[in-house]
Amino acid sequence: MNKIKSLEGGMTMSRFARNHHMEIKVKLNNLRTAPRKVRQVIDLVRGKRVSEAQAILLFTTNKSARPVLKLLNSAVASAKNDLHLEESNLFISKITVDEGQKLKRWHPMSRGRAYPIIKRSSHIALVLSEMNPTIKEIKNKTEKKAEQPKINKKIDKADKKDKPKGTPTKKIVKKQNRKL
């Protein structure tokens, strides 16, 4: 998994391939909204195509819809520019919200008491995947597999040249030790 870059607001992006499907993984850390409120928005777009999810988030009135939309747009832009994938071929394969840091504050009450205020934050992880793998990816992987055995054969030939013909191999040495 390659870490591409760190964006403002704690967003980080990474990409990795699994079974000929390219996935784009994007994170938003320390969003100052409670995870419970963000999950309401996240549940609306989980498993949807990118265009559907953007439309839903655009018209959702919840406060946390805007940062989720910015995160989704950032992931789509990285898929287009870095990996040359089509937006129409992408969908949200995984999206999760985890609890971040809690800011603990106190609210003064009558008779010298203090009531705690816990300000929660969220970490959002978004993974975009391709619905149909692109042909370019499959060709590149088959070319890489074909190149690897050639490199190994060259190394094996070099090892054989270094050894004299009359030296015993490890297997023969082990058998001779057993007999003694």
Q: Residue 136: which pLDDT band, with cuts at 50, 70 and 90? A: low
In whole angstroms, what separates CA 51 from the centre of its chain? 20
* Distance, CA of 126 to CA of 145 (rounded, Å): 30
Please give the share of the chain, as a percent, with pLDDT higher than 70.
62
In a domain, 174, yes or no: no
Cα distances (Å, whole numbers) of residue 53 to 12, 45, 50: 20, 5, 5
In a domain, 178, yes or no: no
Buried b (16+ CB within 10 A) or exposed e, 86-117: eeebbbbbebebeebeeeeeeeeeeeeeeeee
Q: Report the pLDDT value the prediction gives residue 57, as an integer from 0 to 100.
A: 97
Q: Report the pLDDT value the prediction gives residue 127, as an integer from 0 to 100.
A: 96
Residue 94 pLDDT > 60: yes
Q: Report the pLDDT value the prediction gives residue 7, as an integer from 0 to 100.
A: 43
**Full residue range of the structural domain in which residue 65 is found:** 2-132
* Distance, CA of 122 to CA of 37 (rounded, Å): 10
In a domain, 177, yes or no: no
Q: pLDDT averaged over the chain? A: 79
What single-letter DSSP state applies at residue 49? B
In a domain, 118, yes or no: yes
Amino acid, single-letter form, for residue 16 = F
Q: Report the pLDDT value the prediction gives residue 95, as an integer from 0 to 100.
A: 96
In a domain, 155, yes or no: no
Q: Report the pLDDT value the prediction gives residue 4, as an integer from 0 to 100.
A: 42
Q: Residue 118: which pLDDT band, with cuts at 50, 70 and 90? A: very high
pLDDT in tens, 25-58: 999 999 999 999 999 999 999 999 999 999 999 9
Secondary element (H or E) of residue 90: strand 90-108
Would you state the structure tokens that stand for residue 180, as one six-digit string?
């003694």
pLDDT in tens, 138-170: 555 566 666 665 555 555 555 555 555 655 555
In a domain, 109, yes or no: yes
Q: Report the pLDDT value the prediction gives residue 1, as an integer from 0 to 100.
A: 42
Secondary element (H or E) of residue 136: helix 135-162
How many independent structural domains does the chain possess?
1
Write the CATH number for 15. Answer: 3.90.470.10
What single-letter DSSP state applies at residue 88? G
Residue 16 pLDDT > 90: no
